[in-house]
Chain A
Amino acid sequence: MRRVLSYGAAVLLAGWILVPIWFVVVGAFSTADSVYSYPLAAWPDWSLESMRFFVTSAGVPQALLSSVVVALLTGVLTLLLAAPAGYALARFVFPGASAYRLTVLATRAFPVVVLSIPLAVFFLQWGIYDTVWGVAFMHTALALPFVVLMVAGVFAGVPVDIEEAAQIFGCSRVGAFRRAVVPNAAPGLAAAGTFAVLLSYNEVFAASILTLQEPTLPVFVLTGLTQAPLPFRYAGALFLLAPAFLFILLIRKRLIGVGGPTLR
């Protein structure tokens, strides 16, 4: 009985997520006429006219490449910066830990909108304006506060005994970290990295300020999309979703881990 309930809950929750996405698919693959009619059809007419417009728009492949590169760079950079900080927060009690946590979060509580001119000038002067590195640096700064907290939570969840056991068996502190903590924390770290990657991929405001000739895909598509006709909005939305969905598909195995952590 419990099993039935669990499956039922899983199906309901999955349906709740999937049905709206199905609507986007229907809209993206329907003719303009169908999209404007009411009641809406539950099944697409399999017309490619809206999607074709996006796929063949001048500049889309470059924008897509830009987005992917920026997102991956952000993921890696953020993890590299967050790992030491997260470890410190998880393993040590020291004055200033709470202050650090709050200050780091405070950087995110301020709307990016307002920081735009100073940032643009700064980037122009540093020569990283309109480059993938520039946007990646910015996105890392945006993701860092959250990833630090997530990583701290991950490391805190790995019992100290494991590290201590490793040290007893002759590992240095760093060695214990590498051999004992990282493997157990890996799924959590992958999760935190995934968050950073997707935050970067979807981020449009800072990216639109910091790019001009090298826009990321959301900048390229979304700035025009809110004013585009409805059929294009569906197609544009699906077009934006597809790479992200692909990425999540690829990364999900890492998130589950194989077999899960064990003490031995």
Chain B
Amino acid sequence: MGVSRRDALRLGLGTAALGVLSACALDTSGAPGGVGSGGLVFYSTQLSTTEEAESVRRQILAGFGQQVQFVSDSSGTKLFDRVRAEAQAGTSNLALVGALQGEFATLWKEGLLRDMTDVVESLGDRGFTSRYLDLARFDGRYAFVPWISASYIMAARREALEFLPAGADLQALTYAQLLDWTRAIQQATGSARFGLPAGENGLLKRFLQGYAYPSFTGGVNTTFASPEAVGMWEWLRQIWDTANPQSVTYGFMQEPLLTGEVWVAWDHAVRLVDALQTRPDDIVSFPAPTGPRGLGYLPVLGGLSIPKAVADPQPSIDLIRHLTDPARVSTTLRTVAWFPPQDLAAIPGGLPPGVGQEAETLQRMVGTPGAVASSLAVGLGGQSGAYDKVFTDTFRGIVLDAGDVRGTLATQAAALQGVLDTAQARCWAPDPLGEGVCRVG
């Protein structure tokens, strides 16, 4: 007869009972850094992959006196939503926030962060490099404590190396040589084996903003539609022809590198490290190329901060001390391959092979004469999404849809100026710093 009334009743009561019981039972805490109520909540947009989160819970947070819940979700938007919602509702469940410099800039502008100057000053013994400290300062006050850093590099499979153009040094390529290289691979194998993270979660926009533009034009906003920029886009179009079309689905380049669908790739160091660790003999990392105006690169800085709504910040401050002490820093580097915002040369030897390769590559890249460090956009506040959209749209118009370069640049330049005007943002590196709203060139 199907479900009898009694069965339905039993199911209903049983479920309700489960509901009540679990609401109580789930109060019991799990392992330190596990899931369950109680303890401090450490919410981070970084270290959100399953493995990284596990490392944080089991190793990096180990040894801290109190219980900590590590919650991570890479979406910056969700972080903003949460902090805003909590501020609006007048509660604060989040005790500590880990995020990127750009994300903190947005929160700072909305007045949602505690002034961290006292904490940073008390951590003078940690030896943060001044470059990173500068990035942590907004309006003269520290918005966060520098915590982890990385940058974007390139990696290649060994089978690709035989196709390097004559006279090219893998550790010191130019953009032109890179193009010759990937073309040679395509001709020899019949397959397009270059790869860029042009997928939904991919960081192609950072390539455009922090690598391609500075290396070709010496600037980003002020040279957006310049003749050098036209040259850069034409180069990009040509190398895209040698790229695996599945690039529009790639968010993390380590995977296609490991499966062999891609032989030469550019991506965030953290998104390549798995390939380097898994096949240290088959995959090598190397610095990003040099362009006509030098080697443009983008250092990435992650930090720790406390929402303004937190009533008692002391436990959070203790957690910050714990996370930035030398032992924890070393563990962080070893387990999740994020570098400390301290002097790279001070990193002790004895790193696992993948991380070790990346450390070398990063040092080489940063130390190249003519290296130009860009900054992530600062001062855009809520417009940072719109800012990125301009670059993504330009890429789509020029490269994916094969549109007219100059025309697309002109239209997008207007959009870009609109974004900068709305945000009232001043220029930032690699553009010349100055007063007044940044003008698009």
CB atoms of B41 and A69 under 8 A apart: no
Chain B, Cβ-Cβ closest to A178 = B5
**Stretch among A20-28, A86-94, A215-223 lining the B interface:** A215-223
Is the CB of A32 closer than 8 A to any CB of chain B?
A: yes
CB distance from A49 to the nearest CB of B (A): 12
CB atoms of A213 and B16 under 8 A apart: no
Interchain Cβ contacts under 8 Å between A and B, 19 examples: A36-B259, A59-B31, A59-B57, A65-B22, A73-B19, A131-B23, A132-B22, A132-B23, A132-B26, A182-B5, A183-B1, A208-B73, A213-B37, A213-B69, A220-B35, A228-B51, A229-B51, A230-B255, A232-B50
What is the size category of the interface that chain B forms with chain A? 35 or more
CB distance from B110 to the nearest CB of A (A): 13
CB atoms of A58 and B34 under 8 A apart: yes
CB atoms of B85 and A65 under 8 A apart: no
CB atoms of A212 and B34 under 8 A apart: no
CB atoms of B2 and A190 under 8 A apart: yes
CB atoms of A58 and B50 under 8 A apart: no
Of A61, A131, A223, most buried by chain B (CB within 10 Å of CB) is A223
Q: Which residues of A contact B12 (CB under 8 A)?
A: 76, 80
Is the CB of B400 closer than 8 A to any CB of chain A?
A: no
CB atoms of A212 and B93 under 8 A apart: yes
Q: Which residues 15-39 in A have Cβ within 8 Å of B in the complex?
A: 32, 36-38
CA–CA, A59 and B26, complex, Å: 11
What 7 pairs between A and B have smallest CB-CB spacing?
A186-B2, A59-B35, A124-B89, A224-B50, A120-B85, A58-B34, A257-B2
Is the CB of A6 closer than 8 A to any CB of chain B?
A: no
CB atoms of B1 and A226 under 8 A apart: no
Q: Which residues 218-245 in A have Cβ within 8 Å of B in the complex?
A: 220-221, 223-230, 232, 236
Is the CB of B333 closer than 8 A to any CB of chain A?
A: no
Residue among A59, A76, A223 making CB contact with B34, cutoff 8 Å? A59
CB atoms of B26 and A66 under 8 A apart: yes
CA–CA, A117 and B254, complex, Å: 34
CA–CA, A230 and B258, complex, Å: 10
Residue among A132, A190, A229, A254 making CB contact with B19, cutoff 8 Å? A132
Q: Which residues of B contact A228 (CB under 8 A)?
A: 49-51
CB distance from A77 to the nearest CB of B (A): 9
- In the complex, per-residue mask of B67-85: 1 if CB is within 8 Å of any chain A CB, else 0: 0010111100010011011
Size of the A side of the interface (Cβ < 8 Å), in residues, is: 63
Is the CB of B201 closer than 8 A to any CB of chain A?
A: yes
Is the CB of B346 closer than 8 A to any CB of chain A?
A: no
Q: Beyond the given A117-B85, A190-B2, A212-B71, could you list 18 further A-B residue pairs with CB under 8 A, ordered by the A residue number?
A: A38-B259, A54-B50, A59-B30, A59-B36, A120-B82, A124-B86, A124-B91, A183-B2, A186-B2, A213-B38, A214-B36, A224-B51, A227-B48, A227-B49, A227-B252, A227-B271, A228-B51, A229-B255
CB distance from A225 to the nearest CB of B (A): 6
CB atoms of A62 and B54 under 8 A apart: no
Residue among A62, A121, A208, A226 making CB contact with B26, cutoff 8 Å? A62
CA–CA, A121 and B255, complex, Å: 38
Residue numbers of B with Cβ under 8 A of A are 1-5, 11-12, 15-16, 18-19, 22-23, 26, 30-31, 33-38, 41, 43, 48-54, 57-58, 69, 71-74, 78, 81-82, 84-86, 88-89, 91, 93-94, 201, 251-252, 254-255, 258-260, 271, 274, 278
Is the CB of A209 closer than 8 A to any CB of chain B?
A: yes
CB atoms of B89 and A121 under 8 A apart: yes
Given A63-B35, A76-B15, A221-B73 contact (CB < 8 Å)? no
CB atoms of B1 and A258 under 8 A apart: yes
Is the CB of A72 closer than 8 A to any CB of chain B?
A: yes
CB atoms of A223 and B74 under 8 A apart: yes
Chain B, Cβ-Cβ closest to A60 = B35
Chain A, Cβ-Cβ closest to B84 = A117
- In the complex, per-residue mask of A109-146: 1 if CB is within 8 Å of any chain B CB, else 0: 00000001100110011000111110010000000000
At the interface, is chain A mostly helix, strand, loop or mixed? helix
Residue among B36, B73, B258 making CB contact with A223, cutoff 8 Å? B73
CB distance from B264 to the nearest CB of A (A): 17
CA–CA, A211 and B50, complex, Å: 18
Residue among B36, B81, B278 making CB contact with A117, cutoff 8 Å? B81
CA–CA, A117 and B78, complex, Å: 9
Is the CB of A82 closer than 8 A to any CB of chain B?
A: no
Residue among A76, A186, A208, A258 making CB contact with B78, cutoff 8 Å? A208
- In the complex, per-residue mask of A162-190: 1 if CB is within 8 Å of any chain B CB, else 0: 00000000000000001000111011011
CB distance from A176 to the nearest CB of B (A): 14
Is the CB of A7 closer than 8 A to any CB of chain B?
A: no
Residue among A58, A72, A120, A212 making CB contact with B18, cutoff 8 Å? A72
CB distance from B385 to the nearest CB of A (A): 14
CA–CA, A229 and B4, complex, Å: 47
CB distance from B381 to the nearest CB of A (A): 17
CB atoms of A224 and B2 under 8 A apart: no
CA–CA, A219 and B17, complex, Å: 24
Q: Which residues of B contact A37 (CB under 8 A)?
A: 259
Q: Which residues of B contact A129 (CB under 8 A)?
A: 93
CB distance from B260 to the nearest CB of A (A): 6
